[in-house]
Structure 1
Amino acid sequence: MRNLFKRILLFISVFCINGLLYANPSLEKKPKLYAIVIGIGEYTKANFSSKIAKNDANTIYQKLKAQVGYTYTEGNIKLLNQPEQTSHTSIQQAFEDVKSKIKHTDTFVIFIAGEADRVDEEYYLLTSKTQDFSAKQLQSTGLSATQLKKLIANIPTAYKLILIDTPMSDSVMKMTDLFSTHNIKTCKSGMILTAGRYTIDEGFRGHSLFTYTLLDALSGIADTNKNSFIESNELAQYVEAAIPMIAKHDFNRRQTPYIDKCGDNLQFKKIQ
């Protein structure tokens, strides 16, 4: 009789715990969100700057922080927007910090806003140490596409979202480049979304056109299946449609974003 009573109590306890977890999704085990948000707006020894890049990074950082709760727990969401944080060395260190902590089931997001150019068709992101657009400066102080691909590929997770808001960012990398290391060779959910080769410098409503459409999509307008989440394919579809339309209507120019993806969709909650 006593053993039967204990079994009944155990059954009730398990039932109550399962019911609590089902009723409150926040208690379920959730993946962590790791992100590096880079806004390179100050080039200390150059005669140019980009206030829009810093503002874009700040806003994206806040939107990613707001994702923590229902879908993700916070791993580490890092904002790099000061000159001492946006040198070649500091950016590499930020990747190393994530690499040492992230698990293969966690999600990694990288957002980059700033200036870029190409040398012999090789993409280079200008860092805060870059003084001008000469090939010598880009190659000595910039961050090349080859280096970026290696940094991202070495992040040991199968869930990656890459957002690059710079000129010359079409075909910078492909998803196959980012899941080819000994750590992670399988893409569970991956997407590269960039501003494209030719971007509109003037900005649009306080942001670059690319970042503006990202923020617009995350506000909920891109939720075409009405499931209260913005899925990565919905994000890409909205950006792909909105950028050329706004570029043509408001600037009478062309801008075409670049998209590559693999696996299933990542999900982000709508943030106004």
Structure 2
Amino acid sequence: RDCEISLIAENKHAASVPANVRVHWHGRMAEFVIQPKLYVLAVGVGQYEDASLRLEFAAKDARDFAEAMRRQQGGLYRHVECKLLADAQAAKGDILDGLEWIQRQTTSKDVAAIFLAGHGINDDSGFYYFAPVDFQRERVKRTAVPWSEVKGTVESLAGKVLFFVDTCHAGAVMGPKRRDTADFTRIINELASAESGAVVFAASTGRQASLEDPAWNNGAFTRAVVEGLEGKADYHRSGRITINMLDLYISERVKELTQGRQTPTTTKPQTIPDFPVALTR
């Protein structure tokens, strides 16, 4: 911070001898700020082995989300690492390995983002599961990913956690254009509890259907998330998109796309303040 300033007087005839002044800095040094790393686990299952469960855009939703997050490298995050599990790469074992991967990689200085798109189901006892590509209706416990595994991973993550979920109830499938969501309000609230510490963006509330359409080339929820991250949620034109801004944009955009038939929700612990999640380019 110290420096030396040299002054020279000059006219058309000559130049003076330099007068040197040493300037000493007595202020505080600038704080060294470490940019976080971002670890992303994006899971999307549409091409189920059980053809009756197939969804058109779930896998693409995961790909588009992962790509939107990758583009944040060099901005808010010094490094972005993504693990994408789509369709055939999203068997039960693959998803469990992905959860273990993000748990192992993330430190207290990092940000973790988990994205799930596909079907969710309740078993006869009311326990909730995520359906991987190799899910079998008659063998739920053996072939589905228990929500307890997801919750346990989220609770164990040391840094900030963003959780995006767009799932549905496999027992009430109404065709390839519609994802019927089970009422997992309690489950979402548990993920966003003070103990878990995750900010949860859910595609719909209660038992609403989560919608997808070729006109959007995505599910409505993912279309809104990606648009928001790419800059449309920057309401202040500050170059930064925060949790609250993204929440507002997703809510308004999904309502617009679905004509009010789908209501996304964002839940976060009261102890977590609003913070930036993306920078606009």
TM-score, normalization by structure 2: 0.74
Residue 79, structure 1, aligned to residue 81, structure 2: no
How many matched pairs?
239
Maintained 8 Å contact 1:223/1:229:
yes
Question: Which residue type is aligned with residue 254 of structure 1?
Answer: R
Name the structure 2 match of 1:254.
261
Residue aligning to 1:139: 141
Partner amino acid, structure 2, of 1:239: I
Please tell me whether Structure 1 or Structure 2 has the larger radius of gyration of its CA atoms.
2
State yes or no: 1:38 paired with 2:43. Answer: yes
Contact 1:153 1:177 (8 Å CA) reproduced: no
Q: CA deviation at 1:122?
A: 3.4
Find the residue that maps to 1:95 and give its secondary structure: helix
Aligned to 2:73: 68
Counterpart of 1:209?
220
Q: Unaligned regions of 5+ residues in structure 2, if any?
A: 5-21, 169-180
Bigger shift: residues 195-204 or 237-246 = 195-204
Q: Deviation digits for residues 159-192 of structure 1, max 9, x if unmatched?
A: 0100012222642322666653xxxx7x4xx410
* 1:200/1:222 CA distance change after superposition, 3 Å: same
Bigger share in strand: 2
Aligned in 2, Cα 1:204/1:215: closer, same or farther, shift over 3 Å? farther
Residue number in structure 1 paired with 2:59: 54
Give, in whole Å, the separation in 2 of the partners of 1:179 and 1:239.
23
User: Does residue 166 of structure 2 align to residue 165 of structure 1?
Assistant: yes
How far is 1:28 from its partner?
Answer: 5.5
Q: Which moved more, 1:117-126 or 1:253-262?
A: 117-126
Alignment of 1:1-272 (within 5 A): 29-74=34-79, 76-83=81-88, 85-119=89-123, 120-131=125-136, 134=137, 136-157=138-159, 159-167=160-168, 168=181, 170-171=184-185, 172-174=187-189, 180=195, 187=197, 190-196=198-204, 197=207, 198-202=209-213, 204-248=215-259, 254-262=261-269, 263-267=272-276, 268-270=278-280
Corresponding residue SS for 1:244:
helix
Partner of 1:4: none
- TM-score between the two structures when normalised by the length of structure 1: 0.76
Q: CA deviation at 1:270?
A: 2.5
Structure 1 unmatched ranges of 5 or more = 1-6
- Deviation, structure 1 residue 30: 0.9
Task: Give yes or no for contact 1:34–1:98 (8 Å, CA) kept in 2.
Answer: yes
What secondary structure, in the 3-state scheme, does the structure 1 residue paired with 2:251 have? helix
Q: Find the aligned partners of 1:176 and 1:92 in 2 and give their Cα distance.
A: 18
| Letter matched to residue 95 of structure 1 | L
Amino acid in structure 2 at the alignment position of 1:264: P
CA RMSD of aligned residues (A): 3.0
Percent of pairs with identical residues: 21
Structure with greater helix share of residues: 1
